[in-house]
Amino acid sequence: GDLGSSRPHPPDSARKSLSEAAGGLQEEQPSPSSPLGAPHHGEGTPKDGEDTLEYPDEFQPLRSRGPPACFELPPAPLARNPYMSPLLAPDGMLGGLPPVHLVACALDPMLDDSVALARRLRAL
């Protein structure tokens, strides 16, 4: 049976095989006032060949209407760790690195950080 369902199953005489149930039925389209995928009867039924799906009237998309009120992250030890952000490393630590090859592109969100690190490494 269905998990969490307390309703009994219909008797076998009320059940139909898939082929019996599908015989002679036309594909029905959902209406704006019925749940998505629910049968729709009456006026406004799409014409044959139109594959349209509409959302129920009370549907609310899961999108925000604007930016969050607070974008700040609290200071964390990880954000100040020179192994996570080499720009914060002291010159002595950067001077001990083997030759470094930085790769960045024009649309790289970390482009400014890469350029700043390259300048620091050249200056050593």
pTM higher than 0.85: no
pLDDT digits (tens, 9 = 90+) for 8-42: 555 555 555 545 555 555 555 444 554 555 555 55
Tell me how far apart the alpha carbons of residues 15 and 24 are, in angstroms, rounded to a whole number: 17
Q: Is residue 2 part of a domain?
A: no
What is the band of 1 on the pLDDT scale with cuts at 50, 70, 90?
very low
Q: Is residue 41 part of a domain?
A: no
Tell me how far apart the alpha carbons of residues 14 and 37 are, in angstroms, rounded to a whole number: 23
Task: Give me the count of residues in the chain.
Answer: 124
Q: What's the domain range around 117?
A: 90-123
What is the band of 6 on the pLDDT scale with cuts at 50, 70, 90?
low
Q: Is residue 94 part of a domain?
A: yes
Q: Is residue 65 part of a domain?
A: no
